Structure 1
């Protein structure tokens, strides 16, 4: 085990190469950043020995997961947890990658309507509520996590019988209301990550002039002409409107032009207040 922290990314790549690291645990956005650093110094991430990774502490979409897996040629697992329960380890996905198994011998899960507090059924999206069953120092009853998900109905193909929940869509307090429409940052990321011409670094800015206006700034994977940038922007604009019903301005920026963020990445700047 090499506890390297989040600084000196180039040194981390060199350590991974020297020791033959096979597994990464951390934050998905930083693993993407490490992959980019590796490529900048002439090392293809997939050429390293890393073949498995487990990532948590921030919401990351299925498309981000796919891109991370392709970059490193590794099996990417999602782990969910919160400090009030036990930290990481409340649930994680298995090799089937069809939802996260929640450890029901330690936690009792419920899904509620975040507005009314009423319990809702399986396969219905709402807020996850947890009760600890084995915690002694600080037992917690019906803790509202603010995390939006749903519980699966039925068993997993892996054979485990613990209930599964869907990957976290976002937090109820992360939800943004624009022109009367509920919007989660994950919806934006899901569309962006499906486009092979852009990178994982993006930013959404919301401003209010006469009406609310959204601008999504995305870095291109490599330098493109103005004409190509316009085509990519138009494609993303159309797909974002289909996914969210909202019209957004899209700007395609040169690689490495947006500020680099370490740790949990902030994707939304709301300037309406």
Structure 2
């Protein structure tokens, strides 16, 4: 199930996107109060924007602008909105996104082709281990996408390893939709209850929320931990509520594939200029075919690189590499620039670390500080020393580290208002 446009030549894909770009610019100029003001303020004649390169004539839209002028991005009357969702609010006030019937159809199409990209077919059954409620777009997208593809789906929800395994053994799903670190909890439960994970019938996992790969696409520490115990295929998928679009790995597992019929992609540097393929920058997107709340040149805040070499799967679309980090979570620590995923990878090197949370805050002189709270049954000065040495060796810094009770970490990672666990708490305001 590869859409024809994704097998087209790069020239054909570009020409296709340029026609779609003209459509979305006409649409937002006619219907979006925010973009009407923006175009007027900067004297932008949308007829002068004919190519993807011409997009640079339009100022970028930031998350702060989307937060501060949320309602002004809505392009339809309220009675046309059939589903309301919100962003997670990890980096600020949650944003409300409305979806029309057509937007839900687009969401279903996006997820169906994304599942198909990872090898899921109508003969498979997916087990959803994330929430479908709490105004969470992704849970709804997974359900609609499975229906569109013709696959089965079991809505188990988040947590509760006992219920997850009861469902796996009772209904025989073939794929899990899951946060990768939760797979370790499923493996642990299986070990404790004499369940053979490799006889479970699970072929693969569509993984969300945490990175599986290093920048060269090799498996990172977390993924290797999973694979060493459970011989299943692991597929990364990257998405956000604002985009209503996913980038999912194919069989080659060399980055998440772009769907050019759904979104225009730019990777920008600090000056909002396009960086070459393979160079890290901020993912900036223009949605295509969105009815209620289209976005033009929206900066996602996620730092990554795009790759444009041909893929053996038959798609000619660009691929997004693993997220290096979120721009707002960049840390300047003792002369070194860090992103939390680099610390996640190091902490996953230690079997003794059961759970942790990274806190970022300003010290008394206004510079960045890092504190890591760790839960471990084997807490000792030796383990603390080893972790600090590992940080010095790999990242050239040693943050403040303390051992805490598992219950305290659990409370920090799972607040009642959050839809997924957090490993980073940024207190810098």
> Are residue 187 (structure 1) and residue 339 (structure 2) matched?
no
> Are residue 234 (structure 1) and residue 385 (structure 2) matched?
yes
Which of 331, 338, 357 is equivalent to 1:203? 357
CA distance in 2, matches of 1:243, 1:225: 22
CA distance in 2, matches of 1:251, 1:13: 33
> Are residue 68 (structure 1) and residue 226 (structure 2) matched?
yes
CA distance in 2, matches of 1:33, 1:159: 36
> Are residue 150 (structure 1) and residue 305 (structure 2) matched?
yes
Query: Which structure's residues are more often strand, by fraction?
Result: 1
Cα distance, 1:239 vs. partner? 2.6
Task: Give the structure with higher Rg (CA).
Answer: 2
| Cα distance change of structure 1 residues 206 and 133 upon mapping to structure 2, 3 Å threshold | closer
Which of 234-243 and 159-168 deviates more? Answer: 234-243
TM normalised by structure 1 equals 0.81
Cα distance, 1:5 vs. partner? 0.9
Give SS of 2:168's match: helix
> Are residue 79 (structure 1) and residue 237 (structure 2) matched?
yes
Structure 1: any 5+ residue segments left out of the alignment? none
Cα distance, 1:130 vs. partner? 0.9
> Match for residue 178 of structure 1?
333
Structure 2: any 5+ residue segments left out of the alignment? 1-152, 214-219
**2:369–2:399 contact (8 Å) kept in structure 1:** yes
CA distance in 2, matches of 1:271, 1:172: 15
**1:217–1:250 contact (8 Å) kept in structure 2:** yes
**CA-based RMSD:** 2.9
CA distance in 2, matches of 1:95, 1:66: 18
> Are residue 96 (structure 1) and residue 252 (structure 2) matched?
yes
| 1:240-268 Cα distance to aligned partner (Å, 9 max, x none) | 22333212244567888842645532223
Which of 309, 320, 323 is equivalent to 1:165? 320
Count of aligned pairs: 263
TM normalised by structure 2 equals 0.54
> Match for residue 22 of structure 1?
174
CA distance in 2, matches of 1:66, 1:47: 19
Query: Which structure's residues are more often helix, by fraction?
Result: 2
